[in-house]
Structure 1
Amino acid sequence: MFQRIWSLIVKELLASARDPQTRWVVLFSPPFLLVIYAFAITQEISSVTLGVYTQDRGVEARELISRFEGSPTFEEILYLRRDADIAAAIDSRSVDLVLRIGPDFSRQLERGEPANVQLILDGRASNAAQILAGYSGRIVQDFNEDQATALGVPTLTKVVTRVWYNPNLDPLWSAVPALFAVLTAIVGFMVSALSIARERELGTFEQLLVSPLRPTEILIGKAVPALMIALASATAMLILGWLVLDVPLRGSLLLLYASMIIYLAAIIGIGLFISSLAA
């Protein structure tokens, strides 16, 4: 029994190695997609142009502007001279958002009074505008807390969020593990599905059915090569994410691979089932 299953496994591995479509799916497609999608689906925004229109030359106004200038998100600062320049800068996409500071901003803060600033964003890129609003809101919030401390005004309760497994909120650290799981599933599904389809296409599926192999042995002989190929592809993506994309690998490798085997076994079973119905 084991000899027959092993012969079928070797036959499937050789057939997959000789098939150009399978070679592309297994060898080139997953690492290529991992690198492309890791940078394409990130929600991080950089190289932003900030427009600043300030009617206040006080210390507090300059301090707030300097905090925006010191943020790595904002690459270029464009100072506007008139209120009418704001709409023109937004419409022409010269700036991504505008920080508008009124004439009494510094005096109001020195007296301990509430002071308003205005953020004007380009709503045509709604997703980017929401992210930039969050970035800017955090800068203003930190400025408010520092000003309240300097003036001796008690601050409200502050909620501090700590991310355990991605403390720097690096988008690659979130995107790469998710892509790793998705692409591993795609490889397992495609290899198992192509296995039955290739037998049908070459006309060897009927020969396989009349061979001494039992249905259970055929199922194992088809599933194990797909599992081995998917695990090899997952290992390549794991190394690529660790060495090239600089995503740290922490935790138990044994637990990771045990989970992958269970995960891929379910995916491969679905692939074989669909392929047997469609073939």
Structure 2
Amino acid sequence: MKRFIGFIKKEFYHIFRDKRSMFILFGMPIAQIMLFGFAITNEINNVKIAILDKSNDTETQQIIQKISRSSYFDIEQEIKSESQIESVFKKGKVKAVLVFEKDFIKNLQTLKNGKVQVITDATDPNMANTISNYISSILQNYIQEKNKNIQPSYQIQTQTQLFYNPAMKSVFTFVPGVMTVILMLVSAMMTSISITREKELGTMEILLVSPLKPIQVIIGKVFPYIFLSIINAAIILLLGYFVFEMPIEGSLLLLALETVLFIICALTLGILISTLADSQQTAMMISLFGLMLPVILLSGFIFPISSMPLPLQIISNIIPAKWFIIIIKAIMLKGASFSIIWKETLILIGMTFLYTGLSIKKYKIRLE
């Protein structure tokens, strides 16, 4: 029995000394519960909206103030005409536009009925529906407070209009999201094991003594996977277009170029992982567990980033998938041009150069 107890103690010591085992046992569950706990929510917070106030009277101003005082919405801007609505949506920040009819206060006082139109960006149908419900709830709460001393009571009629996805098809969200997740994980995973495979097979020495420069080795490792990932992307787009009737409103050339840019960014991230990992198993674990949860939860694919706590919103900025989802939705659903998505494109280009530079630096270190 003493030998058995001694054996168990030895196993405990081995586990506690292995940092990777401790991370899997305690670090990953803590990280997962924190991510799931804060990221997965059906509530909305700080959603940016625009106001088109055709009446511009005391009543509409009071309603606008009540909406802005809530934690659910931030008034991003006030627009002057309906012709500005689509351009505001294409920029991507504003998720809804609140339109007050002309002579709102007059209609409310004489006809006892005022009309408010809620126009939402339905590229994310669940969020669009939630925004409409929240605004309707605030309006109803306002009118109930107003009716305490008024007989007969006032009513506010809410009209909803959906931009880009009037049928509320969830596939319009999932095709771009799934495409992003697949390209990110497959590209990063495949390249993450490329250099570590050389080490395990014993062929790393050939690369070390070859006249190839580090940048040439990295490009050589990435190049074949670019074509394979492009085929993946083409298959997903074709299935989305012909099977699920996913529209492509923008330029096909722009969509193709942006997709290739994201693929290269994901591949260079995989190369960076491969230069950091000592084995294929470690590289695979980092690619799967280090990328899968952040890509799914913090990219805006399923859950709105604006509703997350500020620290997670900041962390989401370093997730390449976040920026590609914004780009692909803007092109496919909104017909956006490069002038709308230039900032997100520059961010992906910057990330690509950063990952490439770090990979070269780490590769040089291993040469010494």
What's the TM-score once normalised by structure 2's chain length? 0.38
Q: RCO (CA 8 Å, sep 6+): is it higher in 1 or 2?
A: 1
Q: Which has the larger radius of gyration?
A: 1
What's the TM-score once normalised by structure 1's chain length? 0.48
